[in-house]
Amino acid sequence: MSELARRLRRVPLERRVKFLELLKGENAPKAQDGPVPRARDATARQDTAPLSYAQNTLWFLDRLSPGVRAYNLIIAFWVDGALDVAALERALGLVVARHEALRTSLRDLPEGPRQVIEAEVPVTLATVPVPGADPDERSARARELAEEAVREPFDLGAGPLWRARLLQTEPSRHLFAFVVHHAVFDAASSEVVTGELLELYLSLTQGRPATFADLRVQYADFAIWQRETLSGRRLDELERFWSERLRGAPVLELPTDLPRPVEFTYRGTEAAGPIPGEVIDGVHRLARAMGVTPYPVYLAVFAELLRRYTAQEDLVVGCSTSIRGQLELQGLVGFFVNMLALRVDASGTPTFRTLVTRADSVLRDSLAHLDLPFERVVQATSPTRDPSRSPLVQVAFLMPQQPWEVTAPGLGIELEEPATGTSKFDMTWQVREAGDDSSLTVEYCTDLYTADTLDAMITHYVRLLTALVEEPDRVVGDLDMLSPDEHAQLLAHGSGPRRDFGPATVHGRFAEQAAGTPDAVAVVHGDDSIRYAELDAAANRLAHALRERGADTGGLVGLCLPRGIDYVTAVLATLKAGAAFVPLDPQAPPDRIAGLLDDAKPSVVVSRSPEAAALPAHAPVLLLDELTDSPAARPAAAPEAAAGPDDLAYVLYTSGSTGRPKGVLIEHHSVTSFVAAVGELFAMNEADRVLGYAACTFDVSVFEMFGALLHGARLHIASDADRLDVDRLQALLETAGITVMDMPPAVMALLDPDRLGSLRIAFVGGEAFPGDLVNRWNTVCRFFNGYGPTECTVTMVVQECAGHWDTSPPIGLPIADHVAHVLDEHLRPVPYGVAGELVIGGAGLARGYLNQPALTREKFVADPFGTAPGGRLYRTGDLVRRLRNGALVFLGRLDRQIKVRGVRIEPGEIEAVLAAHPDVRQVQVEAWTDPHGTNRLVAYVVRDEQAEVSAQELRAFVADKMPATMVPQHVVQLPEFPLTSSGKIDTRALNTSDILGGVDPGTATAPRTEMERILAEDLFLPMLRNEVVDVTANFFEMGGSSLQAAQLISGIRRRFGTEISTADFFRDPTIEGLAVVVEQRRAAALDDASLLDMIEQMSEEDVARLTASDKGEAG
């Protein structure tokens, strides 16, 4: 400390305050204007007073969580030397007598909460001997006792709101601990009390008067003055400023290490890290050069840190600020603090200088409107109240703390900072400037964050601060905040083990397997089956036929076939012919099939007569049923090899952002490498029985088919009836002895794992699922969660879920010969726990997109790290974060692409279809997560003013052109779209309360019979979660899915003990139609004896009524 600073410390408090006021710049924002607080009448000194606004907030928090310890403060310092304990006690009594706040309690009186100021408070300072074997042990125990003291709660209604301890570790060494509640105290009060305590102690022991003046006002005077002055035009101006400044402010979504508790717990601790003295000097140099205080420099770095950790650019940061704007308040004990909600704009690509300027502007504007208490700011802005976090402000960054010296001639004084074990916010950051001993401290909630995360955040902050202060004109986003060691560790966690399974073709591997196990059954579908040698021969014959139709290396063959042995044969035949297969869903709308064929332009489309009806007339069709008459017409030997490992194996179409589906190009070596890696992971072998459940157009079918056939296992293809009926599916799994299956979690939830004694592997993916599902299954078999877009051959990240799970498990780590990195927008690794884009690569990576070179260049990029086999990476657009153990947690989509019922959907494709409707003027498709956590597609539509079109008509329009998974479950019609200030559609303001599941309430037909009522109230409404029921509405048009249809059929069986078939359901999937079916089935199940039993239980009147009704209908 400089000599000038030392001299200033010796100046009496009042003169020092005046001197510091003169040093303030003329342009510095004034904290307060208006009159100064005036002293109350002397006769009212022991009366009550209103609470200040800050006190009112703490009183309210105490009522919500009585005895909360987060607002306990402590002054603690070591005293070495001959201490006069009686004099110290007397000095403390004089301090208490001098400041009313130390004689105040907050009581709930009939007129409301009030400050109650006692005329006198007895003060005793007992010396507590500290036990211990040696001085170090006693000192450590003294610190523990001080920490215990600060953790004891206060009763705000029973003053005084402070307690003092004098802990003796040696005859001439004591630890003084003064614990006080924030409601009557603040940080500046600590310096006031400590200074006055020691000055009074010296005056008593030296026999001289104290050197400070009497106090003109007390804290109660300030509270009265604050209530009186905060009114009228000034109040309106302040409320208008803050409501406009914070309108639409987002909640800070800082990733947490632990699930956020339902209510904020206030449990916490502190983390700290050093800041080099030269960095502090650099901060002050930059601040002087820019004409700002150091705080905006520190705040700007913090904003950039938060932007990187949250991916948010609109940030609200708290800053507790002193409101001791009047000279009379400077030497007063009390709670003179207000919380500012600083909204910092970190958007765009600003330089650090620009970001500092933004932060300074926000600070100056906020300080100019500091008078409005934070309690009133919250009222004015009406943020969403959430007991799990504080309103408006979740993290705070406080003004830099200057060290203050405590001296007493003849005594050695050393400040101590006991841990409080609390946290007022998620995090509270503060720089402590002390030259080469400067540091950054963070108080954080231990129910949200771990010490590792805070240590990393502090390191990243200091790295950013150091670099940005040196280069203020550099774009902040260009800086890398990770150390080389962090880079290396993150990339290592993102890289799967190297196996190098070697190049191969799918059909080559299958031919080898068929030669090795020719008599083993390869595929079973219902009552049909085929052995490996038979399948190989059939595929060879068909391959020759395909060659005759022009199929060859690099060409494409469309497969418009139902799931079954014919489909598997056609797949292998296509590969043997040298071409790549393109699955087409025979049940898709004809327009969609035609669009895919126009894009793929296959040389031939393999189909059968029933399915060929969905194909365009000009399609080059090869009908299998026309080839079966002469099975030996073509050779059973394979045609001459035409495709190699780097040639295409298949093309699968996924949803496209422009309304155009994307054809993903997968090569042979990608499939064989994936199958080998998963086969090694699952230990697959010839004894396995693999379930074929997935649709042919879904890439999971590739795993099921080749995972079985390239390992000599048996593929059991479930029929459509099996897939839709849970009991039939359960029976298939049991009787077939299925050992390996990949199934949606919604279906698994309906099955009984305890009856599946043969099952070894349950592989789940495509959507999130609860830990309860894992716990039901992982005691029966090995349970895996998987992730992988179509662009990386089915799956490339896997998590084995052993043990007990309370939450949804992570998606895991990359499989062999694959990489999965979490990167920022500049393709740089992000820290552990931070959300970033999942960028993947490896042996399973696709070649790109069919006929879309620009999109391929955009999404498939060079690997800047040299980690991926093949040297390329794919930008998934998925948002994930990496845990400390390396596992990845899926968070959602970076763009608007969404997943509904496990299917990846691009809203733009649906919008393109709806926009083509003649009555639709504007459309926006979004995912809405209902209160039960289920994702639902919602189409918001603005129709032409003269048009009249119902939600059901619009859904039917989409259903004619798109797969069922892409039909919005809900259509909400609006007169116009809400817009943001930039003119874009404000998606957050779209009103989900209008979602009615495609049912127009004005035309809905209510239940008319008891059976219809039961079906509606007990089954349809709880499952579809709609607000309006129409017994004539189609189940699927009301938002139901095939999976829910299976659940509904099972629910009917459980509710009524009645069997209905899937055919019954699909014949008339309405409440009205199903009610008739259920009644018929129930009646048919009753024999004569049962009918007689029922009649005997009826009254004579009921029997007469029924028989009369029967006669009337007969006649």
pLDDT tens across 494-534, in order?
999 998 888 899 999 999 999 999 999 999 999 999 999 99
Which of 575, 509, 568, 497 lies closest to 534 in space, CA to CA? 568
CA distances from 929 to 898, 935, 992 (A): 11, 4, 10
Mean pLDDT (whole number) for 209-215: 87
Same structural domain for residues 76 and 205? yes
Token pair listed for 79: 């005293």
Whole-prediction pTM: 0.75
Residue 830 counted as domain residue: yes
**Which is more confident, 576 or 1033?**
576
Residue 980 has pLDDT above 50, yes or no: no
> 939 vs 922, 968, 1039, CA distance in Å?
10, 6, 12
Is residue 596 domain-resident? no
412 inside domain: no
Q: Quick one: 36 and 131 in the same domain?
A: yes
**CA end-to-end span of the chain:** 112
pLDDT class for 992, splitting at 50, 70, 90?
Answer: low
Q: Is residue 930 located within the same domain as residue 958?
A: yes
139 touches 167 (CB < 8 A): no
Please give the mean pLDDT across all residues of the chain: 87
* 177 and 306 part of one domain: no
pLDDT of 1065 reads 74
User: Which CATH number do you get for residue 1053?
Assistant: 1.10.1200.10
Confidence of residue 6 (pLDDT cuts 50, 70, 90): very low
What integer pLDDT is reported at residue 964 of this predicted model?
64
Please name the residue ranges forming H helices in 528-641: 532-548, 565-576, 590-600, 609-612
Q: 337 vs 13, 33, 240, 372, 435, CA distance in Å?
A: 20, 16, 21, 11, 27
Sheet holding 580-583, edge to edge: 621-623, 604-607, 556-560, 580-583, 648-654, 662-667, 848-849
**Residue-level pLDDT at 842:** 95
As a whole number of angstroms, the distance between CA 784 and CA 800 comes to 4
Q: If you count them, how many residues does the chain have? A: 1115
Range among 4-13, 45-54, 150-159 rated most confident: 150-159
What are the tokens at 804?
């007990």
What is the per-residue pLDDT for 996? Answer: 42
DSSP class of residue 1059?
-
The rounded Cα 1009 to chain-centroid distance in angstroms is 45
In a domain, 567, yes or no: no
- Specify whether the CB–CB gap between 688 and 740 falls below 8 A: yes
Distance, CA of 722 to CA of 716 (rounded, Å): 11
Q: Which residue has the tokens 């009228």?
A: 232
Among residues 542, 415, 534, 591, the alpha carbon closest in space to that of 957 is found at 591
**Quick check: 568 and 536 in contact, CB under 8 A?**
no
CATH code where residue 738 lies: 3.40.50.12780
- CB neighbour class for 1087 (10 Å; exposed up to 12, middle 13-18, buried from 19): exposed
On whether both 115 and 186 belong to a single domain, the answer is: yes
Q: Are residues 749 and 777 in the same domain?
A: yes
* Per-residue pLDDT reduced to its tens digit, 924-964: 888 877 655 667 788 999 888 778 888 878 888 887 777 66
What is the rounded distance in angstroms from the CA atom of residue 658 to the CA atom of residue 655? 9
Give the residue among 50, 29, 51, 69 at the shortest CA–CA distance from 153. 69
Beta strands at 521-525 and 714-717: parallel, antiparallel or unpaired: parallel
Cβ-contact 696, 585 below 8 angstroms: yes
Q: What is the C-alpha separation between 717 and 732, in angstroms, rounded?
A: 10
Q: Which tokens hold the place of 26? A: 């003329």
Last residue in a domain, options 456, 481, 506: 481
Interatomic CA distance for residues 465 and 457, integer angstroms: 12
pLDDT tens column, 773-797: 899 999 999 999 999 999 999 999 9
Query: Which stretch, 29-38, 877-886, 911-920, has highest mean pLDDT?
Result: 877-886
Q: Quickly list H helices, 577-684.
A: 590-600, 609-612, 668-682
- Which CATH number covers residue 449? 3.30.559.30
Question: What is the reported pLDDT for 790?
Answer: 94
pLDDT tens, 844-874? Answer: 999 999 999 999 999 999 999 999 999 999 9
Is the same domain home to 913 and 853? no
**Domain-embedded: residue 363:** yes
> Are residues 981 and 961 part of one domain?
yes
What is residue 325's DSSP assignment?
A: -
Long-range (24+ apart) CB contacts under 8 A made by 362-365 are 363/29, 363/295, 363/296, 363/299, 363/319, 364/29, 365/241, 365/245
Among 450, 481, 512, the domain boundary falls at 481
Q: Is residue 777 domain-shared with residue 874, that is, in the same domain? A: yes
**Contact 611/622 with Cβ under 8 angstroms?**
no
- The string of pLDDT tens digits covering residues 417-444 is 898 899 999 999 999 999 999 999 999 9
Same domain, 114 and 256: no
Cβ atoms < 10 Å from Cβ of 129? 9
Torsion of CA 608, 611, 612, 613, to 10 degrees: 140
pLDDT digits (tens, 9 = 90+) for 103-120: 999 998 888 889 999 999
Instruction: Give the pLDDT confidence of 710-740 residue by residue, as tens digits.
Output: 999 999 999 999 988 889 999 999 999 999 9
**Which tokens hold the place of 832?**
């552990």
What gap in Å lies between CA 264 and CA 388, rounded to an integer? 4
Structural domains of the chain, count: 5
Residue 495 gets which letter from DSSP? B
* Residue 1001 is assigned to a structural domain of this protein: no
pLDDT digit string (tens) for 1040-1084?
Answer: 655 567 678 878 888 888 888 766 776 677 888 888 888 888 877
Q: Percent of the chain having pLDDT more than 70?
A: 87
Read off the pLDDT of residues 350-384 as tens digits, 9 standing for 90 and up. Answer: 999 999 999 999 999 999 999 999 988 988 887 76
Is 128 among the domain residues? yes
Indicate whether 676 belongs to any domain. Answer: yes
One domain for residues 175 and 294: no
pLDDT at position 921 is 79
Burial class (CB in 10 A: 0-12, 13-18, 19+), 915: middle
Q: Which amino acid is at 551?
A: A
Question: CA-based Rg of the chain, rounded to a whole angstrom?
Answer: 37
Question: What was the pLDDT predicted at 909?
Answer: 76
Identify the domain boundary among 869, 893, 917: 893
Can you give the CATH number for the domain in which 215 is found? Answer: 3.30.559.10
Domain span including residue 972: 898-994
pLDDT at 906 exceeding the cut of 90? no
Q: For the sheet containing 740-742, what is the strand order?
A: 528-531, 521-525, 714-717, 689-692, 740-742, 761-765, 782-787, 797-800, 813-814
User: Please, what sign has the CA dihedral across residues 917, 920, 923, 926?
Assistant: negative
Tell me the helices (H) and strands (E) count for the chain, helix number first: 35, 40
Structure confidence at residue 1095 (pLDDT)? 64
- Residue 27 predicted with pLDDT over 90: no
Closest listed residue to residue 144, CA positions, set 155, 163, 127, 131: 131
Kindly compute the dihedral angle of the four CA atoms of residues 461, 467, 472, 477, in this order, to the nearest 10 degrees. Answer: -70
Percentage of residues of the chain with pLDDT beyond 90 = 60
702/688 same-domain check: yes
**Per DSSP, what are the bridge partners of residue 445?**
268
Torsion of CA 706, 709, 715, 719, to 10 degrees: 50
CATH of residue 966: 3.30.300.30
Q: Compute the distance between CA of residue 831 and CA of residue 881 in angstroms, rounded to an integer.
A: 9
